[in-house]
Structure 1
Amino acid sequence: MAGAKEGKALDLKTVICELESSTMEVPSVFVCPISLEAMQDPVTLCTGQTYERSNILKWFSLGHNTCPTTMQDLWDRSLTPNATLRHLILTWFSHKYSALTKTLHHLHATALHLLDTLTKVKGQNRVRALKHLRQLLDCHVSTRKTVLEHNALPLISSFLGPFTSHAVGSEVIGILVNLDLSSDFKKTLMQPSKVSLLVDIMNEGTLQTKMNCANLIQILFIEANASESHAEFLSSLSLLVGLLRLVRDKKHPTSVLTGLVLLNIVCSRESVRTSLVTLGAVPQLIHLLPTLNNECLEIALHILEVLSTLPEGRLALKECPNIIPNVVKLLMRVSESCTQFALSILWAIYKLAPQECASKAVEAGLAPKLLLVIQSGCNPVLKQKSAEFLKMCSLDYSTGILISNCMLTATIQ
């Protein structure tokens, strides 16, 4: 009863908004069938169905004279406030709100206690305290605000240095990557000693640690670009090796995506591209293409397109087994962007060996794919490039065989 009385003093709208971000499941009877959100002012129609007042009024304003759930014609459009249901909703949310408030208070107190502990302990005790804090921040978003409000970032980042163990560094990075870091703080993380440790841990940590490192490096790179700072660490061979290892882990799509996103970013620097080709990025990405989901596939193709702008990149592409038929398959398969990247890759190989490329591409079904692009709603530049490529293939390949492979009708012939 005490909880209910306490709940009545709370505004229902405020309580619902406070609990919106939580993962608790709201009873279906409290949910408006129109908006699928918890009701604040439930009203009942003559059909016995209950809706949020504002939602049903909007339904009527659109010219409807039916019940949205049953689609019955309404013989009476009056709205009856459902006071009993509103009371139940308020009571339920108030109890949940009270329980959540107590939980958050405990979590915030725990976070502050851990921060205090970190100022006093070393060795394994420090690792345990950092791990506990990281887990707290991972599971409860609200505790992140508490950590930031108590200016804990300088303390946490002070554990990153030339003598930091990887156990401590992994936990610190896991904490930092989940916090909203200020621009000034990001700049302090770009100190050579901290970046060097970050890259080392990325190469030797667990899969989750590798992803945390990659995500934090991405945040730092974005900051470096925004502030026009130099980000020489992106040219580090150790970093590139670590990213290629991350991308290679086919069993974990999330790690592949994380690695590809950062590889795509570092490719914007010309000094990095040659290093990536030398490290074998081209055959590795080509080998991965058939296993990638659509999101990863688009990023991988863009990286390959960028690397194909280098002479050594084009040569590496040409030397990959079955490269031409595998890339031809990707035309008009996923998205317009994928088609554009795939066509650029084929064009780069064609420049190295026109006759060989034309022969293999046509045999792999390039001609009908190009015709599809030309006849589709793709952008004019892509359609024009497809038309030019089709023309080049016809010059380097027997016209009769080209038409045969294209399966054109007698009318088109």
Structure 2
Amino acid sequence: MGREELHITVPSLFRCPISMEVMKSPVSLPTGVTYDRSNIQHWLESGHDTCPATMQVLPSKHLVPNLTLHRLIHLWLHHSSPRSPSTTSQQLRILIGRIQDESSEADRRDHLTKIVDFARASEENRRFLADFDHFVEGIVGVLCKSAEMEVLELVFRVLDMIMSQNGVKERVFSSIFRSNYQNCFSKICSVLRNGSLISKIESARILQSLALDAESKRRIAEKEELLSLLIHLLSSENDPDLHDAVLSCLIAVAVTRSVKARLVWFGLVRVLSERLLNPNTKPSNAEKSMNLLSMVSTCAEGRCAISEEEKCAAAVVERLMKAGTEDAVAVLWCMCCVHGDRKVKDVVVKSNGMTKILLVMQSECEGHVRRMCAELVKALRVGCKSGEGALGLGRYETKTTHIMPC
């Protein structure tokens, strides 16, 4: 296929509402909406009980093969010709030129919609856009110029689709940090605050991609509104994919003491505690939450917040054997052994933490994790309120005598 013939118009009926790709195995939910099997199974297995398109609660998760649509797609694929492109590279050059001009927002929106459709069609199209001269720089320029939410969302959609292509991340990074990056970050804040769910996910992923070095991480973390919005999304939204993107972004930038302290000031410890205690939190998100909590426990502000947040230590103990075990042990070790926090020690013992720590010691954990556990056992035996540490260990030893604490 030549460079001039890259895209065939795909009937919207043939596209999965989730991936926007042509469906390979169309199946229908009880709501009547049809999806590609792999995409809807991933959605349901992620803990959702709603139809992604309608957000209706599903009476059942039974998937019915849409055989008629499957046959239509098969016939279309068999008869469609790659020699009938709806968007050629020449047309694409014209579109890119137009969106960078001082055209109206409506024109920009129309041009960007065509580019998004082009990018969605295939991996080859996305590579073509990534390699197209000055396309990345031009699309970032639109981000700086535009004030319309729909245009901003389309820009993030395009960038998110091509960000994994070779060299794109570095070019976006260079375009933003060598220009009026303040303006770009204000646009990211706008989408995080008022954009659609998918746009919030895309903007958080792009923000993480921009955290390439110490200087860029510092500049991102300087935006207090940005950090506040990310933590608010963790607290106010329930979508696991959004949580995943936000947590990954926060982990990427939380590398200095001052940033960690700022995150704590915005209420991160309370939000992470809620996420860890929520039984519906995905294991991968719980692991990232624990990792972030471990990071903030290394600063004085973080340790103070963990001590003062009544639910935090109990949440760590609750997840100790389920997700992020090494980070969970690190948090408890930091609080109980290094800083001797009496309140946290009491909570750990009352939450049956001694038993779980001993079980972690017996498991195939890394040597440094086992050493932290051994020190935790010692600290909990001698550092708790009178009798409570010994009582917690005693209850365990009467049932499992083959584990001997150090």
Q: TM-score, normalised by structure 2?
A: 0.69
Find out whether 1:313 has 2:341 as its counterpart.
no
2:116 & 2:400 partners in 1: Cα distance? Answer: 68
Query: Partner of 2:127 in structure 1?
Result: 145
2:125 & 2:113 partners in 1: Cα distance? Answer: 14
1:240 & 1:229 partners in 2: Cα distance? Answer: 14
Change (3 A) 1:167 1:411: closer
What count of residue pairs does the alignment treat as equivalent? Answer: 321
Q: Which amino acid aligns with 2:161?
A: N
Aligned pairs for 1:31-180 within 5 A: 96=77, 99=80, 101-102=82-83, 105-108=85-88, 111=92, 114-115=95-96, 117-118=98-99, 119=101, 121-151=103-133, 152-161=135-144, 164-179=147-162, 180=165
Summarize deviations over 1:207-227 as a string: whole Å, max 9, x none: 2222222111222212x45xx
Change (3 A) 1:402 1:116: closer
* Unaligned runs of at least 5 residues, structure 2: 1-20, 26-73
Equivalent of residue 327 in structure 2, options 305, 330, 341: 341
Q: Measure how far apart 1:120 and its partner are.
A: 7.8
1:410 & 1:284 partners in 2: Cα distance? Answer: 35
2:390 & 2:220 partners in 1: Cα distance? Answer: 54
Q: Which amino acid aligns with 2:220?
A: F
Change (3 A) 1:112 1:143: farther
Q: Measure how far apart 1:96 and its partner are.
A: 4.3
TM-align CA RMSD: 3.2
Q: Which amino acid aligns with 1:388?
A: E
Kept in 1, the 8 Å contact 2:227–2:263? The answer is yes
Find out whether 1:218 has 2:199 as its counterpart.
no
Which structure has the greater CA radius of gyration? 1
Query: Partner of 1:325 in structure 2?
Result: 314
Change (3 A) 1:185 1:365: closer
1:317 & 1:308 partners in 2: Cα distance? Answer: 8
Aligned pairs for 1:364-379 within 5 A: 364-379=351-366
Find out whether 1:284 has 2:271 as its counterpart.
yes
Summarize deviations over 1:324-373 as a string: whole Å, max 9, x none: 33221222223xxx122112222333355644433332221122212212
Summarize deviations over 1:120-146 as a string: whole Å, max 9, x none: 842222223223322432343332233
Secondary structure in structure 2 of the residue aligned to 1:325: helix
2:217 & 2:349 partners in 1: Cα distance? Answer: 46
1:183 & 1:205 partners in 2: Cα distance? Answer: 25
Kept in 1, the 8 Å contact 2:355–2:393? The answer is no
- Name the structure, 1 or 2, with higher relative contact order (CA <8 Å, separation 6+): 2
1:340 & 1:394 partners in 2: Cα distance? Answer: 21
* Unaligned runs of at least 5 residues, structure 1: 1-20, 26-92
Equivalent of residue 394 in structure 1, options 373, 377, 381: 381
2:217 & 2:283 partners in 1: Cα distance? Answer: 33
Kept in 2, the 8 Å contact 1:362–1:405? The answer is no
